Amino acid sequence: MNFEQPVWLPHLNGTIVSEALGHELCAYVVALEGWRRGLTLNWYTKDAETFQKMETWHVDAPGKLFSLTSKEKTHYFFRTRGDKVSNEAVRIGADKEKTKKLLAEAGVSVPDGSRFSDDARDEEVIDYASAIGFPVVLKPTEGSFGKGVITNIQNKKELRKALKKVPHSNVLVERFISGEEYRLYVVGQKVVGAIHRIPANVAGDGQTSIEALIDRKNKQRQYNPRLISCPIQMDDEVIDFVHAKGYKLESIPKEGDRIFLREKSNISLGGDPVDVTDDLHPAVKQTAVHAVDAVPGLYHGGVDLIIDKNKPPEHAATIIELNPTAQIGSLLYPLKGHARDIPAAIIDEYFPETKGNEKEKTSFYFGFDRVLEPLKNKSSTRTTVFPVQSRNVYAKKYTVSGQVQGVHYHRELREQALAAPLHGFINNLDNGNIEVVVAGTSQDLVDTFKETLLRATDDVQVTDVCAENWVHPVKIGFDIQADPNKITDEISKIEQEKAVMKKEKEKAERKYLQYQQSRSWKLTLPLRKALNYMKRQS
């Protein structure tokens, strides 16, 4: 859909999370929020003893398990879920039938439905669906991301076809709820973010095929830190859905025509997240809060619900799923509307003493790859990211003009910055100049770094240095962000020069050896000994 430009959180822009895209995104943003508040951060491998008792999954690669420590306490996290959430709450959230039972007992609206095991006959399932009324939904009792879910089954024939795709073992048949799907995130009796999940779709322009429109939209999604890992897959489900609407992938929709590609609205399946936090009726939000309250030990998590706008707000929402380990990327990076600071709300819940003091938060951030390296190479099972001691950060951007894009110069600047210590980066500009951003807790060190920039060498000619304040977050350490091709060329040039020098040295050594072995060298030996004797006597 054609959305207006969304508003994302400046302290979690795309550059900051660029090393934590995909499944590591959620853990990184929560850990970063705690670390920025002065908490000590530790990352762990799956073998860490502390996490053996916590419900986790897909943790072979590091980057999902971490702890945050204040002077008084430590809390442990798996992605967005902290240790306040009990294992039993996690297991209930994973079992859709148990979830429905608890919610129904608490008076929260859920779809009518029943569970069927692998010994159930097709006719039993079909008879039940007929009894509650079509359309229905067929889904596994466990799982997430919409996997194995078949929605809006209209009749017995479609249900028979669906049953061939989904095994009877642990499946639910539910009444299909008409309406639009939403994901809300609840923390501490409050909805802190909500998105409308719009099923995967493309907009026709009268010239481009559906297949090409999907490719174009997938390229656009790569600029979104959450959606980059959620492209629209042209699988059998999409092909069948498009065919049912009278199209083929080669069809060219008219300009302005909206072509939906799936029934399911999951973001992981190509859906579009649109922020609606300020638009939802309070009664709908309260339904989500009641749902979380209904599960013992579930202090925060995602709530998926369907809203029937033809009903009064108090009865409009039906809960379809609870997720104690919910993805929050779509709430941070919506396609429309404002990002919601879910990481801040989670840290507020676990470390309330750090709440609300924005001035005390550092504007630094840490590089994810560098921090996880000891865990990835298995040199350690835990790595610590100590907090920045001073919250006051001063930063400037220096634009340096002249002949200043040499690798030697950049390396020297990096060494000087790290020794200071200062953090930041060097970036080559197309006009031959460079940008140098430096940040630190000492304003004097930041200001006087200009003198370091002005120190010319044989291969550097600095003609001007312009300074301006830098108000954006800065990564810990000091990076050289030059064009990789230019760096490669420079390094190649240096290596060639070193090779030439080595050859010249070897040539000189051979000549010297030849001279030592020559007749004239031997004939002058007595004279050289006499001269050396005279030097010692004088």
Mean pLDDT of 483-503: 57
Cβ proximity of 197 and 182 under 8 Å: yes
pLDDT in tens, 17-42: 999 998 899 999 999 999 999 999 99
Tokens of 333: 């990076």
What is the DSSP annotation of 185-226? EEETTEEEEEEEEEPSEEE--SSS-HHHHHHHHHHHHTTSTT
**Is the pLDDT score of 500 beyond 70?**
no
pLDDT for res 309: 92
Domain with CATH 3.30.1490.20 in the chain: 112-175
> Residue 300: helix, strand or coil by DSSP?
strand
**Is the pLDDT score of 497 beyond 80?**
no
CA 421 vs CA 413, 414, 442, 445, 468: distances in Å: 12, 10, 9, 8, 20
Distance CA 245, CA 263 (A): 11
- Return the beta strands (E) in 199-314 as ranges: 201-203, 258-260, 272-275, 300-307
Mean pLDDT of 395-414: 94
Rounded to the nearest 5°, which phi and psi values hold at 313? -50, -35
Amino acid at 494: I
What is the DSSP annotation of 126-178? HHHHHHH-SSEEEEESS--TTTT-EEEE-SHHHHHHHHHHS-STTEEEEEPPP
pLDDT for res 479: 93
Mean pLDDT of 340-351: 98
Highest mean pLDDT among 122-136, 190-204, 353-367: 190-204
Rounded to the nearest 5°, which phi and psi values hold at 448? -80, -5
**Gap between the terminal Cα atoms of the chain:** 94
Helix (H) or strand (E) holding 268: none
pLDDT for res 282: 98
Q: What is the pTM of this model?
A: 0.84
Q: Helix crossing, 407-419 with 443-454: angle to 10°?
A: 150
The larger pLDDT score, comparing residue 2 to residue 442, is at 442
pLDDT for res 204: 97
Span 112-175 CATH architecture = 2-Layer Sandwich (3.30)
State the fold for domain 394-482: Alpha-Beta Plaits (3.30.70)
Cβ proximity of 482 and 432 under 8 Å: no
436 CB-contact burial (10 Å; exposed 0-12 / middle 13-18 / buried 19+): buried
Distance CA 397, CA 410 (A): 15
pLDDT for res 492: 53
Distance CA 172, CA 348 (A): 37
Domain with CATH 3.30.70.100 in the chain: 394-482
- Beta bridge partners of residue 258, listed in sequence order: 203
As a whole-number percent, the residues of the chain with pLDDT over 70 amount to: 86
Highest mean pLDDT among 13-17, 73-77, 91-95, 149-153: 73-77
Cβ proximity of 424 and 377 under 8 Å: no
The larger pLDDT score, comparing residue 271 to residue 391, is at 271
